[in-house]
């Protein structure tokens, strides 16, 4: 998965700072981190796998929205950035701990992922990812809105409300494509372990 991720980034993103972003991704633990504690991709490498799945589904969604078979290089670059980096705020947010569980009438200890707040957690999910990416590459407004609003109506932060989310979807179709792809793969494609 790491090779697929890096190949997509190098093929589709020609922006200054992308090598620094990839170096941070490598150093941060992104390729080994889970995508969640209890839900989709709650296993080692789940975050990278989820990001790749969102990319594939976002391609389908965006082409459908835009009524096109092929994307321009600029559209593909923007979609790649928003899809692959929409959840970078999750890096370092989970640690393995042990808990007791009963199996076949016997108590045993099993590992599980526990959420651990990072320095970026107070920003909120989408905003944190957007800020992290902006530390390395300059985002277009379209990309920033797509990353920031990727949680759609499930974003409970004080900065989001349905009017703003819908406005983002209408004005920036990439935002809708990323949010729809994220929800689709997390709900129907990816499993928990």
How far, in Å, CA of 82 to CA of 145, rounded? 9
Task: Specify the pTM.
Answer: 0.91
pLDDT of the residue at 161:
61
How far, in Å, CA of 38 to CA of 48, rounded? 16
Per-residue pLDDT of the chain (193 residues; tens, 9 = 90+): 999 999 999 999 999 999 999 999 999 999 999 999 887 889 999 999 999 999 999 999 999 999 999 999 999 999 999 999 999 999 999 999 999 999 999 999 999 999 999 998 888 889 999 999 999 999 999 999 999 999 876 665 545 566 777 778 888 999 999 999 999 999 999 877 6
User: What are phi and psi for residue 23, nearest 5 degrees?
Assistant: -65, -40
**Within a 10 A sphere around the Cβ of 176, how many other Cβ atoms?**
23
pLDDT of the residue at 38:
83
State in Å, rounded, how far the first CA of the chain is from the last one.
18
Ramachandran category for residue 11: left, alpha or beta (phi over 0 → left; psi -120 to 50 → alpha): alpha
């Amino acid at each position: 998965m790491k090779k697929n991720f890096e190949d997509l980034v190098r093929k589709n993103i020609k922006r200054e700072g992308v090598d620094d972003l990839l170096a941070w991704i490598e150093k941060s633990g992104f390729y080994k981190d889970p995508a969640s504690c209890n839900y989709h991709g709650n296993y080692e490498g789940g975050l990278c796998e989820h990001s790749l799945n969102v990319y594939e589904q976002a391609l389908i969604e965006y082409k459908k929205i835009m009524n096109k078979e092929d994307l321009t290089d600029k559209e593909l670059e923007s979609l790649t950035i928003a899809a692959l980096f929409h959840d970078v705020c999750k890096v370092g947010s989970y640690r393995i701990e042990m808990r007791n569980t009963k199996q076949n009438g016997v108590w045993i200890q099993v590992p599980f992922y526990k959420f651990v707040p990072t320095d970026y957690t107070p920003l909120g999910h989408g905003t944190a990812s957007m800020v992290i990416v902006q530390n390395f590459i300059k985002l277009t407004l379209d990309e920033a809105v797509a990353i920031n609003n990727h949680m759609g109506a499930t974003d409970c932060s004080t900065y989001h409300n349905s009017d703003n989310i819908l406005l983002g979807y209408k004005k920036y179709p990439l935002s809708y494509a990323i949010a729809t792809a994220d929800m689709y793969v997390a709900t129907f494609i990816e499993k928990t372990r």
